[in-house]
Every structure is written in C-alpha cells, then in structure tokens.
Amino acid sequence: MTDTQRRVAIVTGGSRGIGRAVSERLAADGQAVVIAYAGNDVEAKATVEAVEAAGGNAVAVQADVADETAVRSLFDLAEQRFGGVDVVVNAAGIMVLSPLADAGLDDLDRMFRTNLRGTFVIGREAARRVRSGGAIINFSTSVTRLNLPTYSGYAATKAAVEALSPILAKELRGRDITVNAVAPGPTATSLFLDGKDQETIDRMAKMNPMERLGRPEDIAEVVSSLAGPARWINGQTIFVNGGVA
C-alpha cells in the first residue's frame, strides 16, 4: 500500500491510556498515525516503538491542542510526512474532581482549555484539512448521563463537546466526512484510577451489568469502526460503557 492509498490519522493524547490504545489499533488497521502528546517524551517514544514493533507506522509530535499555531504545525507535519489527513481523534483530556462548592477556578479553566478549546481548535483545523471519506472523532464521557458527584467541571467540558460534534457534522455536509463523539464509561486508565481508593474503583466497576471496568482496547475498537468502515454513523455520541447508562 502506498502513502497515497493509506489512511492517515492524527490522535491527540495518543501516547497514553485510551489514546495510546487508539493509536495502536489504528496502526494495526493499516493507518499511518501521528501521535500528538502534551509533554511526556518517554511515553510518546514508547508508543511509537510499540506501533513500529507491530509493523505499523507512527510519529510522535509534542503539541498543545489548545494552541492554534501548534495545531496548524501538527497538521502540516502529517501532510508533509504522509500526504494528508483522513482521521482525527481528539483523545487529549484532563480531569480534576471536586465538589462544586470546593472547586478551584484554575482547575476549571485548565479543563476547559484542554477538553473544550482543544477539541474546538483541533476540530477547526480538521474541518479545513480532512480529506473526503474521512472521520473526526471527539471524546466525551458517560458522566454526562451518570451525574456523579465531584464530576461537575469535567462533565461540563464534555457536554460541550457533545454539543459541538453534531453541529460540525452538519457543517461538513457534502464532503463525505463523519463527525461523532465517543463517551467512555469508567475505564482502567491512569486518568480514571489516580486518586481513587480500591473500594471506589470496585464499586464503579460493578455499576455496569458486565461488572468490570472498561479496557482502553474496548474504546479503541469503537474508534476503529468510526475511523474506517462505519460510514453511516454521523453526528452521534456513542456511549461505550458496558451498559452503565
């Protein structure tokens, strides 16, 4: 397969957690993957090496997803290295938990900057550059339905992502580009596990009828479909949570 035939994906937050699983899955599907990461060079290098060891093709680029100049450079690199962009996955995100009464506004601003502004900036560039037949996949969360205490700020940023995704889908009418959001439930990543005691983790694992936490690979499987064969799903939020909500 030549570079002109191969699909090319940009995955933000692609060096760890769900983002890493998505990067590895899309590479296994035959896509060239540009992994955008915030700052951990070791994790980014390890992800690229894992992709290449499995026979895939990937490159890692440090980029602030909320910085429009950095995002333009990210897309420039993808086009220069692989010839274009077909799939964009917005997996970058941060989560700070606190009751609303005790929430710090600096933490709220950080979450909005990465989770919402980052999705907006990446989405704007994707709308300008993704090739016909492509897909834009944003990340929400099942917490927008579960209404769990301490998640108000995080859920608010993700509810906004759910709102903008179907609007962008309609704005791209006639270009054969799908736009969807994926909303994971509790998933065994550091983003979810950090700061939680074992009792809380066990309780949340049993919230769904499958009685386990999601695995990053569970989420990557759905992203893989949206990034490839699932062309008739558009403007939707897909809840990937084992039936918790």
Q: Which amino acid is at 62?
A: Q
- From the list 75, 120, 154, 192, the catalytic residue is 154
CA dist 224 to 106, 134, 182, 195, Å?
35, 12, 11, 30
- Residues paired with 128 in a beta bridge: none
Distance CA 152, CA 97 (A): 8
In 3-state terms the chain splits into helix, strand, coil percentages (rounded to 5) of 45, 15, 40
Contacts of 105 (CB under 8 A, 6+ apart): none
Give the phi and the psi of residue 239 in degrees, each rounded to 5.
-85, 115
Three-state DSSP at 138 gives strand
Q: Closest by alpha carbon to 177, among 133, 242, 126, 111?
A: 133
The reply to whether 151 belongs to the active site is: no
CB 48 within 8 A of CB 35: yes
Residues annotated catalytic, as ranges: 154
